[in-house]
Amino acid sequence: MEFEAVIGLEVHAQLLTETKIFCSCKNEFGAPPNTNVCPVCLGMPGSLPVLNKKAVEYAVKAALALNCKINRYSVFARKHYFYPDLPKAYQITQYELPFAENGWIEIEKPDGTKKKIRIKRIHMEEDAGKTIHGEGLDPNSYVDLNRAGTPLIEIVSEPDISTPEEARLYMQKLRDILVWIGVNDGNLEEGSLRCDANVSIRPKGSDKLGTRTEIKNVNSFRFIQKALEYEIERQIKVVRSGGEVVQETRLFDSQRGITKTMRTKEEAEDYRYFPEPDLPPLIIDDEWLESIKASLPELPDQVKERFIRDYGITSYDADILVRDRALARFFEEAAKNYSGEAKKVANIIISDLLGALNEEKLEISESPVEPLHVAQLLELVDKEVISLRVAKEEIIPEMVKSGKEPRAIVEEKGLVQISDESALKEIIKKVLENNEKAVKQYREGNDKQKQKAVKFLIGQVMKETRGKANPKLLNQLIPQVLEEV
Amino acid sequence: MELLNKSLRELNELIKRKEVKPTEILEELLNRIKETEPKLNAYITVTEEKARKKAEIADKELEKLGEDEIPELFGIPLSIKDNINVENVRMTCASKILENFISPYDATVIKKLRERGAIFVGKNNLDEFAMGSSTETSYFGPTKNPWDLERVPGGSSGGSAAAVSARSAIASLGSDTGGSIRQPAALCGVVGLKPTYGRVSRYGLTAFASSLDQIGPITKTVEDAAYLLNIISGQDSKDATSVRIPVPDFLENLNNEIKGLKAGLPKEYFVEGIEPEVKEKVLEAVKKLESLGVEIEEISLPNTKYAVETYYIIAPAEASSNLGRFDGVRYTYRAKDYKNLIDMYCKTRAEGFGDEVKRRIMIGTYTLSAGYYDAYYLKAQKVRTLIYQGFQNAFEKVDFIVTPVSPTTAFRIGEKTDDPIKMYLSDIFTIAVNLAGLPAISIPCGFDNKNLPVGLQIIGKAFDEVTILNVANVIEKELNLNTIPPV
Ligand SMILES: [Zn+2]
């Protein structure tokens, strides 16, 4: 029997607000332990939560970008459990009435096919602190409550995902969108995005759902795929050998690439949810919703479509350009300032500028090169002031290093293209003297060999001129000189 | 004791005229506390040295200040129920689990009182975490009633009420979840006001049942209650349940104009379980109102009979949640020996909480569990809505409602401790008010044949503290009772 998997993901995303969700403590990663805390996020007796409006706005922004319906009336609830990093012994979250429901995102598989993954609900909640266990012989555990009260949204998908690869693509797409709209920093390593996966198997084509397991702690794109691959394989083995999958929570061991039982259904906690009496229901009125909508930028899919339509670039290039909002903006500005084909802009950014920035360990958002400079650079090539090769190999790296305009670099370094025919002829003559073999090949060879020889000689002239010779002219002049000599 | 009998307004005037210095008031108060505490046990903590330092500073400041620069509470020492945070002062909530907890911050009400010049002299005894009606569940021992030291002062704000009654406090703040200000005020013969839910910020009040708790004054007179309410009221950006609504001048509105008002007398409040003398004294006060031109109308609040049951589902549910934070991890008592984390939690809470608190945590945990939530908590919330609507209907016909505060006068220490249900029923007349979020005031309206005070409750429309204070003030003046206890 063949099996298929049914997968749903629960993704926790931290919101990039200045302050925490229920107090005015700073929301930042990496501060010394227990420094960003106050009576509220420490759960001191008598302290009360007050909802951070910015957190609501970020959450709604995310929900709109994920095509959700915004519930104008939603309710916070308390979820109870005891753990040292949960100061109040309950987490303030949303339960029966979340603020957003019924959304979707579209993923594109490597073969180009697209698939919609539905989002069941998104709710707002507070993060817990961190428990750190002592290393080596230290028997103590330590609690850092800086993270307690960080605003989170939990995005719950429908079980529309069928393969580990789709799960990874969904997670990546989610990350790209949240980073794009500026509500999350996309940093999985620091826990800004965390993923739990629910997975079950069933005979291929069946519409019944099997018993699912939940995998916790899959915190990289690679691990999501690996953990699911392992878990699906494991469930199939259990069923094939006549056993039954047990409903349980499992933990992914990234070192060994396996999942292990964490707790069974019987051990599952009763969270005793009830409406949070300290917070009135969250009401999002028309005016507020409209102002949030207005602040939402054009989304990556829309931008991609527009780039293909308006700038005539390939789908492949567009995909790369919309992976980062700053990059897309950079491209568009450069393209707008350039009189030639935008395709060339896309090409030089993707194949040269990004590499050069990478060499200097810079993000596009930190680029010393202005979009206008890229346009100017391409104009210089078009006007045959410099060759494309010089532009790519000499000028771009220098622009990244110094942030200077291309024209200034060209002049400073004397990189102006040699288009003077007599000057070029002199250089060609010199090159011919040093390359008798090629000359001989040209004279004695057939058409194909002639072409090969010319090509070789162009390369030699380029070498001699450090790429400054006008390649178009060389194409005419080399055969001409060969005939003359 | 002369100064301690004065009203807040009188003390403020004496200070303004510089006829009395803050240290004089404080020393008189500290002497009275030393004299009465061995008998009453109304305080858990007396911050003698701190208060003395503040009073000395106030003395010096006073020399420099002009009459109109002196705020309402300048140099006046107040006491506070020990479940409200006062910065750098121990706050125990009368529990072993917080025996050594020092508050890291001021509650909003404390901040407001401080801004008006108040000095804090100590923290009053209460039932552990305000759970009780007699102040007997305190880890620090029961408070005694100044009218009869064999009897309870009521609860949970029993320490505040006993101290104000015995003049070992000038005025105090209590908290009221199901009657915890009004019932002890009645049993001790003082004034207790529970404001409308949302009128006063709860920030800094240790939560018992968040949707019911409200801070309010316990004072010698109605005027003093209005005086303090003026200062502690108002929307607070730190309490999302506090309400943005104008705060009238409650003092200025004590204008004695009650003629033509309509009072409702709920028939359900004068039947079973009520002591004849309590009924008698309350009805005498009602007669008085009638003679002053108030129209009396019998009304019905049919759903009040479910109030106690409803309360004992909602309050413990919220309490079980609110008390989870006392877990031994950060600032509470922690058990000495434990094997692992779970063991630490269990032992800490088993050793740290008293029986009544544990009982309510267990009830609350049970009613919130999966499978029981709908049958208990959700249903109780629906009944709560009906109780609220019952009051709404009544307030279409009347301006305020008059009832007894407690079915009995002060009972004997130990009399009800073995029977929680009997104890719970002593709040039968006060609980519905919290469920509906309404304001209500308790004032003395006479004494029984054992010379124990009887309380009268006046319930108002939401945010209409003005009317109930005004009516209470008139009755207080008309009855002109001697409310100084023998202690
Ligand atoms: Zn904080």
CATH number at residue B115: 3.90.1300.10
Q: Do B369 and A272 touch (CB under 8 A)?
A: yes
Range of A106-110, A136-140, B164-168, B256-260 with top mean pLDDT: B164-168
pLDDT for position A438: 85
Q: Do A272 and B85 touch (CB under 8 A)?
A: no
pLDDT at B426 over 90: no
Residues B160, B180, B233, B442: which is the catalytic one? B180
Q: What mean pLDDT is reported for chain B? A: 96
Residue B448 lies in a domain: no
Residue B166 lies in a domain: yes
Residue B402 lies in a domain: no
Any A CB within 8 A of B80 CB: no
Q: How many CB atoms lie within 10 A of CB B246?
A: 8
Q: Which two tokens stand for residue A338?
A: 């350039």
pLDDT at A444 over 90: no
Chain A residues near residue B209 by CB distance under 8 angstroms: 277
Chain A residues near residue B203 by CB distance under 8 angstroms: 46-48
Residue B162 lies in a domain: yes
Please answer whether residues A43 and A33 qualify as being in contact, where contact means their C-beta atoms are separated by less than 8 angstroms. no
Residue B316 lies in a domain: no
Question: What's the complex ipTM?
Answer: 0.96
Q: Do A45 and B207 touch (CB under 8 A)?
A: yes
Residue B95 lies in a domain: yes
Distance of CA B212 from the midpoint of ligand 1 (Å): 25
pLDDT for position A485: 67
Helix (H, G, I), strand (E, B) or coil at B191: strand
Q: Identify the H or E element spanning B43.
A: strand B43-46
Q: Compute the average pLDDT of residues B164-173.
A: 98
* B320 in catalytic set: no
Burial degree of A139 (CB within 10 A; 0-12, 13-18, 19+): exposed
pLDDT at A268 over 80: no
Q: Do B240 and A277 touch (CB under 8 A)?
A: no
Task: Write the pLDDT tens digit of every residue in A313-352.
Answer: 999 999 999 988 999 999 999 999 999 999 999 999 999 9
Any B CB within 8 A of A269 CB: no
Residue B234 lies in a domain: yes
Pairing of strands A100-108, A69-70: antiparallel
Q: Which two tokens stand for residue B288?
A: 């008085």
Domain that holds residue B233: 3-260
Task: Write the pLDDT tens digit of every residue in A113-130.
Answer: 999 999 999 999 999 999
Report the domain count for chain B: 1
Please give the Cα distance from A11 to A17 (Å, whole number). Answer: 18
Residue B393 lies in a domain: no
* B103 in catalytic set: no
Residues B6, B21, B54, B81: which is the catalytic one? B81
Sheet (strand B214-219) strand order: B43-46, B119-124, B77-81, B172-176, B214-219, B191-194, B440-447, B453-460, B400-404, B262-266, B295-299
pLDDT over 90, % of chain B: 94
Q: Do A47 and B203 touch (CB under 8 A)?
A: yes
